[in-house]
Amino acid sequence: MKKSNIIFILVIILILGGNLFAKNLYDKKSNEDTLDNLVLDKIAGNTITSIDIAHYLENDISTKKTVTDPNEIKAIIEEFENKRVEKSSSLKEVDKEESYRLSLKTEQGTIFIIILYANDYTLLFNEISNTNKDGTYKMIDSINKDRIVEMFNP
C-alpha cells in the first residue's frame, strides 16, 4: 500500500475520532445544568414565606418542620447556589431509604418542591410552570444537608 494512502486513511480516522469525541463531550455538557437555572431563577421575584421540610424514612414521613424565619429560609435557599447537576433519566439509582422533601411556599401556596435523597440525587417539581414541571438530577456539586438534618435532631 502506498504511503500516501496510509496517511489518507489515518487522517480520516483522526477526523472521525475527533468528531465522536467532540459529540460525546457536547452530549455530556448538554445534560449538565445548575440549581440556579433549575430552581433559583424560577422562583426569582417570589417571596418565600415558608419552607415545609418533611423527613422520610423508607417512603414514610418520619417528621415534619416548617421554617418561617426569613434568615433560615435565606440560608436554606443559598445552599442551592452554584450547584451543578446532571440530568438523570432513571430513578433506579436513587436511594429512597431516606429523603428530605422541601416545599417552597409563598402566600399563594407551594411554588417548588425539592426532594433530596441520600445518594446525591434530587427530584424537582416546578409547581408554577406548565412546562418542564419536574426532573431527576444527580448532584455534581453536593448540597450540604447539615442545616436541614440539624432541624430534626432534638
* Each residue's pLDDT expressed in tens, for the chain with a length of 154 residues: 677 777 777 778 878 776 666 655 554 445 678 877 877 777 777 788 999 999 888 878 888 999 999 999 888 888 888 888 888 876 677 777 888 899 999 888 888 888 888 778 888 887 766 656 577 788 888 787 877 878 777 5
End-to-end CA distance of the chain: 79
Write out the chain in H/E/C secondary structure.
CCHHHHHHHHHHHHHHHHHHHHHHHHHHHHCEEEHHHHHHHHHCCCCCCEEEEEEEECCEEEEEEEECCHHHHHHHHHCCCCCEEEEECCCCCCCCCEEEEEEEEECCEEEEEEEEECCCEEEEEECCCCCCCEEEEEECCCCCCHHHHHCCCC
What's residue 70's pLDDT? 92
What's residue 31's pLDDT? 65
Class of domain 33-150: alpha beta
Give the domain ranges of the chain: 1-30, 33-150
What's residue 53's pLDDT? 92
pTM of the entire structure? Answer: 0.70
